[in-house]
A and B are shown apart, each in its own frame.
Chain A
Amino acid sequence: MSDPLIIPAPDGAPDRQQPPVSSASEPFWEATRTCSLVIQWCRSCERAIHFPREACPSCLGTDLEFRPAAGTGTVYACSEMPAPGNPGMKGRAPYVVVLVDLPEGVRMLSSVVRSDGAEGAAEVAVGDSVRVAWEPLADGRHLPVFVRG
């Protein structure tokens, strides 16, 4: 496996709104400390679940586990934000918000970001292939984002 791609926030950018951790999602966020993307699975249905829950949304079973994800995806929908959606993103617009379909069979809201450090929004279209990258968070976790390719 190749080294994880870490993409820091721009210099001087205020902190993003930090994602809280729910009881069901703790393994997901813990794994992000080592830049590992894990997805919850129902062992009864053999079905991936996102967002993580305390019961499977197919069978209501509780035999659940987290497994490593491939870290790849396909853009299902995308929109460029010309202005920030909250004060934590001041100075970062324009940026792109996407829905990404993962090969495990789940969909995530995320961002596609530039990997070259240049200014401006990433260029991305519905149907593009993407792979996961990581933005460090203040508490040692990482936020999963995506880059093209």
Chain B
Amino acid sequence: MVDRTMRGAAAIVGVADAVSPTGELEGSVRALEVQVIREALADAGLTIADVDGLFSCTGPGWAASLELAEYLGIAPRWTDSTQTGGSSFEIHVQHAAAAISLGLCDVAVVVYAATPRSSFKRGTGGFGSRQALPGPTPSAEWEQPYAMRMPMGAYALAASRHMHEFGTTAEQLAQIAVDTRTWATMNPRARLQDPITIEDVLASPMQASPLHKLDCCLVTDGAGAVVLTSAERARTLRKPPALVLGTGTCHTHAMISEMPDLTTTGAAVSGPLAFAEAGLTPADIDVAQIYDSFTITVLLLLEDLGFCPKGEGGAFVADGVLAPGGALPSNTSGGGLAYTHPGMFGIFLLVEAVRQLRGECGPRQVEGAEVALAHGSGGVLSAMSTIILGTEATA
């Protein structure tokens, strides 16, 4: 039977294009994108302030939709850089309709501009050029000349701000590394398995003040995968399902200098969205996997996800709440700080969350775990996504 739940749930309400008989257009790719967005919104009777979903598959840097959103000054809660060549935009419309039918975004903009003809004449690219958007990236122009060590420098800036506003201490951040390492002592596959103390963290070399080496994640090889299917079909398969109970996403910037508030991440949006969808609260989470690129990342995310009030993360973690036996067992694999971190850790958060829900974690198993949270962070505290998983008992 054909699933028809999306039928009629979304519509195209505004259109615009820019073309010329000469085959050439004045203006940069970014200027053209802004132009057609403005015209299409006007066609629909909407403004940029209405837009909460953004679809773009080309740009100068590593993340098309982030960089366009930063340029436009918006913080979408639905984002899609899906790149499939010429069919990308049909797929974007499909994704937008799906998202809208589920209430995950309200107004979606799908946009594309390219100037291969005039770029070829200017010698700044052209058809077949990999650079769809001629010109420098904002980061090369506004950040890289200052030679901040990346990525730790960006996180260090956030830590400095949190300490200034809330009195958070290096010892409190270190406690996160200590507790995560305690979990790793129970994981024979972890990169670092020896226990550490707060003093060890504070004595490790400074990487970018106030972050020490042991506040920073590993650099390792690694790989992971997860497979998803319908809940109905999942019940016929070999292992007990980890049901997706709630999801949420928010990105706020691409460069750290564009982050609106260095003490609050997009998890303050993604977390509540995920909890609301799941019908749960932070108190319902039995085990948490919270992206630990740096200790400050975990601290900010605990606050933004609602495990403690904003500014109280330091006190919250100080008594070992994240450690084995604590009220919020977190990063039970040993995390990015001690288990593995091959550049991007998000897949491992999901793998560990599922293993905990299945009871497969041996000595580090959290007894009776029925609800798990996995929260990913991308960029420099830039793109946040929260997934809440549950056992069959939570369905």
Contacts and interface: CB of A to CB of B under 8 A. Distances in A.
Interface of A: 16-23, 25, 51, 53-60, 62, 76-86, 88-89, 92, 95, 97-99, 107-111, 125-127, 143
Contacts of B158: 77
B146 A80 contact: no
Nearest to B48: A60
Contacts of B205: 82
**9 tightest CB-CB pairs across the interface, nearest first?**
A57-B73, A20-B136, A79-B156, A85-B147, A126-B164, A109-B257, A77-B157, A89-B147, A80-B209
Contact of A88 (B147, B149, B211): B147
12 contacts: A18-B145, A20-B135, A22-B138, A23-B135, A54-B30, A60-B37, A62-B34, A79-B159, A79-B160, A79-B208, A99-B157, A109-B255
B208 A80 contact: yes
B71 A85 contact: no
Contact of A17 (B145, B156, B255): B145
Contacts of B211: 79
B207 interface: yes
Contact of B157 (A78, A85, A108): A78
A71 B239 CA distance: 63
B161 A77 contact: yes
A82 B16 CA distance: 51
Given A16-B145, A77-B157, A85 B140 contact: no
B148 A55 contact: no
A110 to B, nearest CB: 6
Contact of A109 (B71, B136, B148, B149): B148
Nearest to A51: B142
B141 A20 contact: yes
Contact of A86 (B74, B147, B255): B147
Interface of B: 27-28, 30-31, 34, 37-38, 48, 71-74, 135-136, 138, 140-150, 153, 156-161, 163-164, 205-211, 255-258, 262
A53 B71 CA distance: 7
A84 B147 contact: yes
Contacts of B150: 85
Contact of A19 (B141, B149, B163, B256): B141
Contacts of A127: 164
B71 to A, nearest CB: 6
Nearest to A137: B145
Nearest to B73: A57
A19 to B, nearest CB: 5
Contact of A97 (B31, B148, B164): B148
Interface centre among A55, A79, A84 (most CB of B within 10 A): A79
Contacts of B30: 53-55
Given A82-B205, A126-B160, A126-B161, A21 B147 contact: no
A41 B237 CA distance: 59
Nearest to B257: A109
A80 B28 CA distance: 37
Given A77-B161, A82-B206, A22 B135 contact: yes
Given A22-B136, A51-B138, A58-B73, A81 B164 contact: no
A23 B138 CA distance: 11
A148 B149 CA distance: 22
Given A20-B140, A85-B147, 13 more contacts: A19-B140, A20-B141, A51-B141, A54-B30, A54-B31, A54-B34, A57-B73, A58-B73, A60-B38, A78-B157, A80-B208, A82-B205, A85-B146
